[in-house]
Amino acid sequence: MHSSRKLIDLMTETGKACGLPDAAVQLVPTTDREAVGHFLKMHDAIDVTIPRGGESLIRRVVAEATMPVIKHYDGNCHVYVDDTADMQMAIKVLVNAKCQRMGVCNACESLLVHRDIAAEFLPLVAQTLQQEHGIELRVDERAAVSIPSGVPATEADFATEFLGPILSVAVVDSLRAACDHINRYGSHHTDAIITQSLQAAEEFTQRVDSSAVMVNASTRFNDGGVFGLGAEIGISTDKFHARGPCGLRELTSYKYIVRGDGHIRS
């Protein structure tokens, strides 16, 4: 609360210098969570709500809000390594996607590997992620053949945003199987394919129903600042208006102005 008050003071001071009204930026001066429900009923005064916090808070806001909400519930993000992938590139991207910052919504939480390269690629995963970075690998039965030190995965593991040093791992028969897995267990946030096949990349980007899809790049790139949108106010997995990382443009609405000279509709 002290930090928030100081930030509001700074923004108010800066806003005045730019000619903005004193109340353009405001802070709700209470830590009582009951205030949340009060504000969610004020659709006549509040145009949009953007909850930032845990999944329980976001679900509460969605359930109680009487105005539009821009949100995502969680970030169960995937990296799929196709049978044509450059394995060193795949390891590099995977380490960045999982380990650069684990507690963020665009960190990788699940690895899918094509069956044709699983025997060669998965031992590299175990050596790099498990041994060098201390990541616990929760593996399905097929992945366990190449990673015997892995922990047996449950179905719930594939639907979990771990936000820490745990990664679920599965072997899939095809690109389509990978897409089906992602669309079933993922959160439609950010998913990546590592491949040298343009056809595979195009199919993956079309089939995976997520707000951002990466080709040969880390999931960590899904960020408003990185996308050139300016300061990010959130990442949306909704289907309409704001989708993906949201900046100032995504906070705006539309107003149509028609200019005529006595025109009438026939």
In the chain, domain spans: 2-72, 77-221
Do residues 215 and 207 make contact, with C-beta atoms less than 8 angstroms apart? no
Q: Structure tokens of 200?
A: 């595979």
Q: Which one of 3.40.50.150, 3.50.7.10, 3.40.309.10, 3.40.50.1370 gives the CATH number of domain 77-221?
A: 3.40.309.10
Do residues 111 and 186 make contact, with C-beta atoms less than 8 angstroms apart? no
In which order are the strands placed within the sheet that holds 77-81?
151-152, 136-139, 166-172, 108-114, 77-81, 190-194, 212-215
pLDDT at residue number 247: 86
pLDDT at residue number 237: 84
CA distance 78 to 96: 13
Tell me the whole-structure pTM to 2 decimals: 0.84
186-210 pLDDT, tens per residue? 999 999 999 999 999 999 999 999 9
State which residues of the chain have pLDDT below 50. Answer: none
Beta bridge partners of 186: none
135-148 pLDDT, tens per residue? 999 999 999 999 99
Q: For the chain, what percent of residues have pLDDT higher than 70?
A: 100
pLDDT at residue number 168: 98
Q: Structure tokens of 120?
A: 């060669």
CA angle centred on 42, ends 20 and 230, rounded to 5°:
45
